[in-house]
Structure 1
Amino acid sequence: MASIAQNPPPRPRRFAPLKGDSEGAQTKLQGIVFDVDGTLCLPQHYMFTQMRAALGIDRSVDILDHIRALPSDEARSEAVAKIQAIEREAMLAQQPQPGLVQLMDYLERKNMRRALCTRNFEAPVTHLLQNHLPDHIFEPIITRDTPNLLPKPEPAGILHIARQWNLDNHAESMIMVGDSIDDMTSGHTAGAATVLLVNERNTHLKEHHHTDLCISRLDDLIDILENGFVGDNSAGSSSTSQ
């Protein structure tokens, strides 16, 4: 399935406070999409070094692009098996991000829809949810195994979620939360507001024009959403991570 490029709505993005005392006509937030590795769980950067070594490629080559370009189904299957083996081993060491449960409990109380859009395959995603968020529902869940959707940084996964939620404004009433340029670009291109979870490797993205807001912990989002999301993609100066 081909990607559907969108014209992103004007910035800065704004959503009505979830505390329910907003004045005037403000956009109501309809749902939040989360990345997984580095967002719901602590980053496991070493995986990508191991994956590239297993495939014999360097850092300049995108792993999924390399696999798609392999000359046969057999070669692609062998490469995918190597990647899956590394992810299965790494998932046993997953650690939840600080503030993960607090944020999800808050969103549950607010009846806020949540979905996942990740380039991980299904097993580590299921492992994380079963071990750290067993009482929370994410629907839909877009993984590397989801057929007919181009992976991030393409907006296809986020637009698919918007259609599943029956939104008539594509992703313009949604937020994408992630830790990578692929997350920010996919969300921005789909029309969603974007939130960067800052870590030691992605601080250069704080001022990227695809980033609307920055946070240093997941539960920083609670006060932001409660009082009204206001993006600031000039430098993330509205962020609690400054």
Structure 2
Amino acid sequence: MASLDDYTLRQRRFAPLNTSNNNPPTAPQLKGIVFDVDGTLCLPQNYMFGEMRAALGISKSVDILHHIRSLATAQEQLEASNKIKAIEREAMQHQEPQPGLVELMDYLQGRGVRRALCTRNFEKPVTNLLQNHLYAHVFVPIITRETPGLLPKPDPAGILHIAKEWSLANRAENLIMVGDSIDDMTAGHTAGAATVLLLNDHNGHLKEHMHTDLCIERLDELINILENGFVGEKTRAELVPTDKV
């Protein structure tokens, strides 16, 4: 059982990206931002998940990717995966960018903030969104559910991989994970990142979740937040990680 010494108070903070103030920052520097895709960079297409579960014959309580991985043979897994991809390909024809998407990305590019993607989508819908709405922007690396050797969110592996690719020594503690689901919040929090929940009509219950540091209603709300210094809405006790990946 963990003792009180194993816990620390955490309120996530980052120094302002506006460096015009001559006073030295007391908060850590932000090293980059990781974004989810569906429901974060583009408007939610939640109808997809009902279609996917119907195609696979599973209930709402069953995680789709977990179900596919649990199938007995490689052929069964391939057939199930192809059904899901077909639904995603159809849905990607109707992708709409989130309000404030380009404004935020232009700002981050101007401030030299690195950006990466970590999504449970497969690669094609991600490429479609970037080519149609963010052709002037670069995201490196891009982690999808097909990235070899990495478990999908809510596992933190993808975010930790991004931190490693960016040569960060303290896990993902100098990053922000922006998403719209509990998988995004949990993956980011577990990796050590600060988390930002983009609110929609279906995720308001996550505002008070222990893995959510800050909530926004539009992506471009992050501009003023980052310009003046990120401050999480919660101070909470959490288990001190025993490893530094």
- Per the normalisation by structure 2, the TM-score is 0.91
Report if the CA contact (8 A) 2:15-2:25 is conserved. Answer: no
Q: Secondary structure at the match of 1:93?
A: coil
**Aligned equivalents of 2:121 and 2:230: distance in 1?**
28
- Counterpart position of 2:205: 204
- Counterpart position of 2:129: 128
Q: Which runs of 5+ in 1 are unaligned?
A: 1-6, 235-242
- Counterpart position of 2:71: 70
Alpha-carbon spacing, 1:116–1:55, altered in 2? closer, same or farther (3 Å):
same
Amino acid at match of 2:47: Y
- Counterpart position of 1:18: 17
Which structure features the higher share of strand residues? 2
Alignment RMSD, CA only? 1.5
**Aligned equivalents of 2:7 and 2:154: distance in 1?**
15
Report if the CA contact (8 A) 1:184-1:195 is conserved. Answer: yes
Report if the CA contact (8 A) 1:117-1:157 is conserved. Answer: yes
**Aligned equivalents of 1:9 and 1:222: distance in 2?**
29
Task: Map 1:209-220 onto structure 2 (within 5 A).
Answer: 209-220=210-221
Amino acid at match of 1:113: R
Q: Secondary structure at the match of 2:10?
A: coil
**Aligned equivalents of 2:75 and 2:221: distance in 1?**
45
- Counterpart position of 2:189: 188
Amino acid at match of 1:226: E
1:88 aligns with 2:93: no
What is the CA distance between 1:26 and its match in structure 2?
1.9
What is the CA distance between 1:11 and its match in structure 2?
1.8
Report if the CA contact (8 A) 1:210-1:233 is conserved. Answer: no
- Counterpart position of 2:179: 178
- Counterpart position of 1:161: 162
Amino acid at match of 2:149: N
What is the CA distance between 1:8 and its match in structure 2?
9.4
- Counterpart position of 2:80: 79
Q: Secondary structure at the match of 1:207?
A: coil
Amino acid at match of 2:11: P
**Aligned equivalents of 1:171 and 1:32: distance in 2?**
10
**1:109-158 alpha-carbon deviations (Å, 9 max, x no partner):** 00000000000000000000000000100000000110100110010000
**Aligned equivalents of 1:34 and 1:76: distance in 2?**
27
Percent identity reads: 69
**Aligned equivalents of 1:23 and 1:67: distance in 2?**
51
**Aligned equivalents of 1:86 and 1:209: distance in 2?**
33
Report if the CA contact (8 A) 1:179-1:197 is conserved. Answer: yes
1:28 aligns with 2:33: no
**1:29-55 alpha-carbon deviations (Å, 9 max, x no partner):** 000000000000000000000000000
Q: Which runs of 5+ in 2 are unaligned?
A: 1-5, 236-245
- Counterpart position of 2:100: 99
**1:153-172 alpha-carbon deviations (Å, 9 max, x no partner):** 01000000000000011100
Structure 1 consecutive aligned stretches of length 4 or more whose deviation exceeds 6 Å: none
Amino acid at match of 1:231: G
Amino acid at match of 1:102: E
Report if the CA contact (8 A) 1:33-1:114 is conserved. Answer: yes
**Aligned equivalents of 2:130 and 2:69: distance in 1?**
28
**Aligned equivalents of 1:227 and 1:78: distance in 2?**
49
Amino acid at match of 2:51: Q
- Per the normalisation by structure 1, the TM-score is 0.92
**Aligned equivalents of 1:108 and 1:187: distance in 2?**
22
**1:173-219 alpha-carbon deviations (Å, 9 max, x no partner):** 00000000000000000000000000000000000000000000000
Report if the CA contact (8 A) 1:114-1:137 is conserved. Answer: yes
**Aligned equivalents of 1:174 and 1:195: distance in 2?**
11
**Aligned equivalents of 1:188 and 1:150: distance in 2?**
16
**Aligned equivalents of 2:15 and 2:164: distance in 1?**
22
